[in-house]
Amino acid sequence: MSCTAVILAAGKGVRMRSKLPKVVHKAAGKPLVAHVVDAVRAAGIEDIIIVVGHGREHVENFFAGQPVKFVIQEQQLGTGHALRQAEGTVDPDSTVLVLAGDTPLLRASTLKALLEHHQKCQAQATVLTTFLDQPAGYGRVLRDEKGSFLRIVEEKDATPEEKQVTEINSGIYCFQASAVFRVLQQLQPLNAQGEYYLTDTLEILKGEGCRVEVMSAAEPEEIHGVNDRVQLAQVEKILHRRKNLQLMRDGVTLVEPDTIIVDSDVTIGCDTVVLPFTIIQGKTSIGEDCEIGPWTNINDSRIGHRVIIESSRVKEADIGDDCVIGPYAYLRPGTILQEHVKVGDFVEIKQSTVAPGSKIPHLSYVGDATVGREVNIGAGTITCNYDGQHKHPTIIEDHAFIGSNTNLVAPVRIGEASVTGAGSTITRDVPPHSLAVERADQRVIPWKKKRDH
Ligand code: UD1
Ligand code: CA
């Protein structure tokens, strides 16, 4: 049986108090709705429709180029109305898995179990529920004396007795497509919020004699919805804890993991050690046998194998195998270090490529530069890449030796195996195998300091 997932994500999320729609707020490095899409994909469902409305361009932009379809709900008239917008896009013979865009803790295994339960029972509808000690805010699941499903009542419509019920609606359901789209047309907004409630379809189907099943999630944590920024922070903490456990199980050592933050989509190779107070974000990949940290922040970068990065900031950079970085290096976007490169303390690199075996050990700024192999850049070297209006390139060829405190005024090229004298300001190209010195002759003048020592 074919299966389509419909993710409801058109709401504003008023309680977030934000200019952005709720579902694009990020937790552990990616939008809430992207966590839901990833869980759906991991459950083996390829056909994914997202119902968008409020701030839909933000959601659409995030998924640009991905195999995800969008349908638009112009006015947010409720969850039932939202699902109805997908009617023309879903095959009536398929199973529809309906989810909300604000439940990022959901696991693929739970979705698979829900689908299996739904299909095994040959139900027209199956709702995923769970039991919460503090069910406030959720729809409550009402059952008859025999324990079979009666209906779902929203918090705002519930009587005091109904509010005592601790079984809550996760907002995740399986439906037989033609059945749900048929009864969606019968919904009436006769409730406290004046909305078309998707939850009412279950009661209508039940009344028609259809089979409505209830499945309880093993882990209540999974269905936690994010409605405000307090819940966003709670959910993110759980995602980070899960990620750390997964990394350790996969062979990564985390020293004092409670101080280490790793986003969901980061990958780290086996036998890499991450030291305390390290933050690894976005789409970063780190190879095997590295030592990262302490006090290091890396985002959206590729780090090879056997790399050491200590107390440094690495942003959108590509670091080859066996590099040694830090402490206190700042690698900015467009930095490409090939293998065996050393970048030491208080070095900033931007939009530059450094070839294998080169060293920039101390106190330098390298921007818009191409550095060859086995180059040594002395302490205090600056590429003067900006003339106030434009950025200009610096090229340093293989085996060059840049003396300490050299200013390289770009555009400029230092030829192969050439040397610059310490303290020189180099404004013209230096041919290969040459020494360029730009320095006034030293004068020695007899001098008496005011106070003798
Ligand atoms: C809903 C359920 C409630 C359940 C809870 C679980 C209904 C009536 N209630 O309540 O029983 O316990 O989820 O988290 O379904 N949305 C749209 N268009 C709309 C309205 C909502 O796309 O017109 C989307 C929202 O963007 C959100 C999702 O549907 O992603 C759920 O909407 P929300 O307003 O958060 O529903 P709850 O009040 O939490
Ligand atoms: Ca919600």
Give the whole-angstrom CA distance, residue 450 versus residue 96: 90
Task: Please identify, by atom number, the ligand 1 atom nearest to the C-alpha of residue 101.
Answer: 30
pLDDT digits (tens, 9 = 90+) for 124-150: 999 999 999 999 999 999 999 999 999
Q: Identify the residue whose C-alpha is closest to ligand 1 atom 39.
A: 138
Q: Which residues line ligand 1 (CB under 6 A)?
A: 8-11, 51, 73, 76-79, 81-82, 100-102, 138-139, 152, 154, 168-171, 197-199, 225
pLDDT digits (tens, 9 = 90+) for 295-315: 999 999 999 999 999 999 999
Percent of the chain with pLDDT over 90: 96
Q: Which of 18, 23, 56, 79 to mutate to test the pocket of ligand 1 (most atoms within 8 A of CB)?
A: 79
Q: Which residues in the chain are classed under CATH 3.90.550.10?
A: 3-223
CATH architecture of the region 235-436: 3 Solenoid (2.160)
Give the pLDDT mean for 363-371.
98
Percent of the chain with pLDDT over 70: 99
Q: Which pLDDT does position 217 carry in this prediction?
A: 85
Q: Is the Cβ–Cβ distance between 114 and 215 less than 8 Å?
A: yes
β-bridge mates for residue 47, sequence order? 4
pTM above threshold 0.95: no
Q: Is 54 an active-site residue? A: no
Q: How many angstroms separate the alpha carbon of residue 265 from the centre of ligand 1?
A: 27
3-223: which CATH number, 3.90.550.10, 3.10.180.10, 3.40.50.720, 2.40.50.100?
Answer: 3.90.550.10
Task: Please identify, by atom number, the ligand 1 atom nearest to the C-alpha of residue 21.
Answer: 26
Q: How many angstroms separate the alpha carbon of residue 120 from the centre of ligand 1?
A: 27
Q: Is pLDDT at 359 greater than 90 in this prediction?
A: yes
Instruction: Give the C-alpha distances (Å, rounded to integers) separating 332 from 297, 299, 383.
Output: 12, 10, 15
Q: Identify the residue whose C-alpha is closest to ligand 1 atom 16.
A: 11
Helix H, strand E, coil C: the string for 15-63 is HHCCCCCHHHCEECCEEHHHHHHHHHHHCCCCEEEEEECCCHHHHHHHC
Helix H, strand E, coil C: the string for 336-400 is EECCCCEEEECCEEECCEECCCCEEEECCEEECEEECCCCEECCCCEEECECCCCECCEEECCCC
Q: Which pLDDT does position 12 carry in this prediction?
A: 86
The CB density around residue 3, as the number of other CB atoms within 10 Å, is: 21
Which is catalytic among the residues 362, 390, 433, 453? 362
Pairing of strands 26-27, 30-31: antiparallel
Tell me the residue length of the chain. 453
User: What is the H or E stretch that residue 285 is in?
Assistant: strand 285-286
Q: How many angstroms separate the alpha carbon of residue 237 from the centre of ligand 1?
A: 23
Q: Which pLDDT does position 128 carry in this prediction?
A: 97
Q: Which stretches of 229-307 are DSSP H helices?
A: 229-249
pLDDT digits (tens, 9 = 90+) for 80-138: 999 999 999 999 999 999 999 999 999 999 999 999 999 999 999 999 999 999 999 99
Q: Which pLDDT does position 8 carry in this prediction?
A: 98
